[in-house]
Amino acid sequence: MNGILNVLKPTGMTSHDVVSYIRSKLKTKKVGHTGTLDPNAAGVLPICLGKATKITQYLIEKRKKYRCELTLGKETDTQDKYGKVIKESEIKVNENEIRRVFKNFLGEIEQIPPMHSALKHKGRKLYELARVGKKVDIKPRKIKVYNLDIISIKDNKKILFDVECSKGTYIRTLCKDIGRQLGPYGYMSFLLRTRVDKFDLLNAYTIEEINDYVNNNQIDDIILPIDYPLDNYKIITIKKRNKKIITNGGRVFLGKKHDVMKLYNKMAKYRIYCEGRFLGIGKIVELGDAWFVKMEKLLV
């Protein structure tokens, strides 16, 4: 069984729980997810099956979109509503101030990941250290916020917004940082992942729905092909006589450099097909004055 399942993860399950459930339900060993979603959050969690697990590294890089609620007035140690309140303020802000500060978080920004996260420090997960009261210096990381749209503001305290961001972005931390810049502190009170690249909430399947598809022997109807999320890579089609060469790790001649350099980008990755069948992800190799294509990730 090879392909990708667009799962709607419920609150209360870890991303690993979902992987374990799918592995057990579909009776397949090779199962992996494409980016952790907090246990207390719900939303889109693409699950790769079989040979599709080889492309998780490419999907993790994809943009993600969330709907989030920020509640002002308090800050917690976990930066969400489940943590212990560590700071509190009665500072009042108005809608104009809120909209002005939100604009400051568009584009490339630096973010310090929270202690209550699965990042590791000297082999131990940060949340394990946090549970025993240990603190470590965490270096800020650059992330990118592509879109940050306020949906509603209630009593100048609860702000519902959509955010589209790069990998490695902690929405909890975004809420904390916005709250601090506004003045009255803040924490994430709701989170729903609505999109991971092409995988949309509207086309995601609940655990219960997946269970029904399995019981009715229709699970293949909702498994997407391996190349579904890779359409940002251009296509190279090779001839049948070259299929064995490229699938065995060999190079296939594309042409002289001066003839093909306008057709191909040596730094790009490509989807490789033969007779309409997807073989995997390839790259350009230069040898002398000739360009070749070679498999980077074989998926057949």
- Chain centroid, CA 209 distance in Å: 23
Residues 6+ apart with CB under 8 A from 249: 294, 295
Collapsing DSSP to helix, strand or coil, 219 comes out as helix
Say if residues 39 and 9 touch (Cβ distance below 8 Å): no
CA 72-77-78 angle, 5° bins? 85
Query: Which residue matches tokens 């965490």?
Result: 138
Q: Please say if 221 is a catalytic residue.
A: no
Collapsing DSSP to helix, strand or coil, 192 comes out as strand
Q: Which of 17, 38, 149, 177 is catalytic?
A: 38
Say if residues 39 and 126 touch (Cβ distance below 8 Å): no
Collapsing DSSP to helix, strand or coil, 88 comes out as strand
Backbone angles phi and psi of 50, in degrees to 5: 60, -130
Backbone angles phi and psi of 141, in degrees to 5: -125, 145
- Distance CA(79)–CA(297), nearest Å, equals 39
Active site residues: 38
